[in-house]
Amino acid sequence: RKEVEQDPGPFNVPEGATVAFNCTYSNSASQSFFWYRQDCRKEPKLLMSVYSSGNEDGRFTAQLNRASQYISLLIRDSKLSDSATYLCVVNGGRGSYIPTFGRGTSLIVHP
Amino acid sequence: EAGVAQSPRYKIIEKRQSVAFWCNPISGHATLYWYQQILGQGPKLLIQFQNNGVVDDSQLPKDRFSAERLKGVDSTLKIQPAKLEDSAVYLCASSAGGAVKNIQYFGAGTRLSVL
């Protein structure tokens, strides 16, 4: 089993739709979690950190489920500009503060 | 605030040649990361430095890859000799410290093509 797993998609949704991605991790000792966004041929950029209590930033909501070892990202009212690859990052997956990226989930928002 | 600087942006070499990439992190950032990102995959951590010490290099192919971070500031990643499968984007990132909730800031990357 891979340390961090994501469904690569693509997720093809119309503007205005709500879409959710999950990311599972294998090491129960993992300590911190993030979602990054990567546009085509660009570098990853932080979208949001994921806190135990869940957190929201505008149309984006991130949640952590430690019991089932996954994090989720919910995007409401999708915009064309949300089209990108969404990467989850888990820190501490190899016993230290070392980051492991998932392969990313591709989102395509169409008119 | 200046971001993470990487050079060159693009490099084309033939297999068995050598290549080097340079990274200058955000000023004051103690932690520096080198990643390899192959098309369609997530970034794979090659090496992580804390100041000028190595935190993790378990996924660095040490028979051909080497990296250094002299004086705990900028860093160089070298491949010698290159193979076809090394074609990828090499990303450098930095973060402020060794705390668990580190946020990484990435450079624009170096796109390497090995022919």
pLDDT in tens, B14-23: 999 999 999 9
Task: Tell me if chain B has a CB within 8 Å of the CB of A94.
Answer: yes
Q: How far apart are CA B10 and CA B109, in angstroms?
A: 9
Distance of CA A9 to the CA centre of its chain: 13
The pLDDT of residue B98 is 54
Q: What is the pLDDT of residue A1?
A: 63
- A-chain residues within 8 Å CB-CB of B42? 4, 6, 87, 101-104
The pLDDT assigned to B83 comes to 97
Contacts of B28 (CB under 8 A, 6+ apart): B96
CB nearest to B108's CB, from A43, A94, A96? A43
CB count in 10 Å sphere of residue B52: 14
Amino acid A94: pLDDT = 52
Rounded to whole angstroms, the Cα distance separating A49 from B99 reads 14
Give CA–CA dist A102/B59, Å, rounded.
15
For B30-47, what is each residue's pLDDT tens digit?
899 999 999 999 999 999
* Nearest-Cα residue of chain B relative to residue A44: B106
CB < 8 Å to B105, chain A: 46
At residue B71, φ and ψ (nearest 5 deg) are 65, 10
Contact at CB, A34 and B103, closer than 8 angstroms: yes
Q: How does pLDDT run along chain A (111 residues), one tens digit per residue?
A: 678 999 999 999 999 999 999 999 998 888 889 999 999 999 999 999 998 888 999 999 999 999 999 999 999 999 999 999 999 999 875 546 789 999 999 999 999
The pLDDT of residue A98 is: 85
Of A109, A103, A111, A90, nearest to A38 by C-alpha is A103
Whole-angstrom Cα distance, residue A81 to residue B45? 28
Amino acid at A95: G
What is the mean pLDDT of the segment spanning B9-14? 97
Q: Note the pLDDT tens digit of each residue in B50-102.
A: 988 999 999 999 999 999 998 889 999 999 999 999 999 999 999 986 554 57
Provide the token pair at B108: 């624009």
What six digits make up the tokens of B36? 């390899």
As a whole number of angstroms, the distance between CA A98 and CA B58 comes to: 11
The C-alpha atoms of residue B56 and residue B64 are separated, in whole angstroms, by 17
Are B42 and A101 a contacting pair at CB < 8 A? Answer: yes
The more confidently predicted of residues A95 and B109 is B109
